[in-house]
Amino acid sequence: MASSWKEDIAAVMARDPAAKSKLEILLCYPGVKALRSHRLANKLYKRGHTLLARLISQRCKRRTGIEIHPGATIGHRLFIDHGAGVVIGETAEIGDDVTLYQGVTLGGTGKEHGKRHPTLGNGVIVGAGAKVLGPITLGNNVKVGAGAIVLKPVPDGCTVVGNPGRIVRRQDGSRPTLDHNNLPDPMLEKMDALYERISELEAAVRQLTDDKSRRN
């Protein structure tokens, strides 16, 4: 348990420039508190004490605003930034070195049984308010933009934005950065391309008009 706490604190120190001390992280960060509660609830859940496990997870939800089902599988060094409104479903699986921002949902899409929540690979970053729904897999180092709704699997190293989520960038699998505010906007890119095309057509029409005037 002590080793897990050290990993949690180290993950925050490495990824949150606002963190000033290890004691501050341990006492004040809701994501660290939620992970601490989840580890206990998860052990109880696996041993068949499902009601007690759910009571622990619901108490944690009231204290932190983060709801993690006791059945969820979470790897090492998960960083939940701020955390308000984060929901992680029962069959969700999260790899190592993952970052989740506030309002993220790792949820299901219906009342089906069995595996019904997402699987996140290592190094995944999910931006604020994003929803990843269903038994899909996000590969290693995937980056999900704020507010995106992801309903289909995403290969390693890709960037996904929009509703529904679309792959707008493929990377070489190198370590992702945290600047998800600089993700590309596919609609803006299409509008820019349309504006350029209209400008070209207007220039061509002006040229034809000038040529006609000179001939007359």
Is the preceding omega at residue 164 within 30 degrees of 0, hence cis?
yes
Tell me how far apart the alpha carbons of residues 134 and 116 are, in angstroms, rounded to a whole number: 5
pLDDT value at residue 186? 63
Which residue carries 């290890």 as its tokens? 22
More confident residue, 192 or 41: 41
Exposed (0-12), middle (13-18) or buried (19+): which is 73, by Cβ within 10 Å? middle
Contacts for 9 with CB less than 8 Å, ≥ 6 apart: 22, 25, 26, 32
Q: What is the pLDDT of residues 41-83, one digit of tens each?
A: 999 999 999 999 999 999 999 999 999 999 999 999 999 998 8
What is the DSSP code string of 177-205? PS-GGG---HHHHHHHHHHHHHHHHHHHH
Query: What's the N-to-C CA distance of the chain in angstroms?
Result: 89
pLDDT value at residue 164? 86
Q: What is the pLDDT of residues 124-167, one digit of tens each?
A: 999 999 999 999 999 999 999 999 999 999 999 999 988 888 88
pLDDT at 89 over 90: yes
pLDDT value at residue 175? 45
pLDDT at 178 over 50: no
Reply yes or no on domain 2-184 having CATH 2.160.10.10.
yes
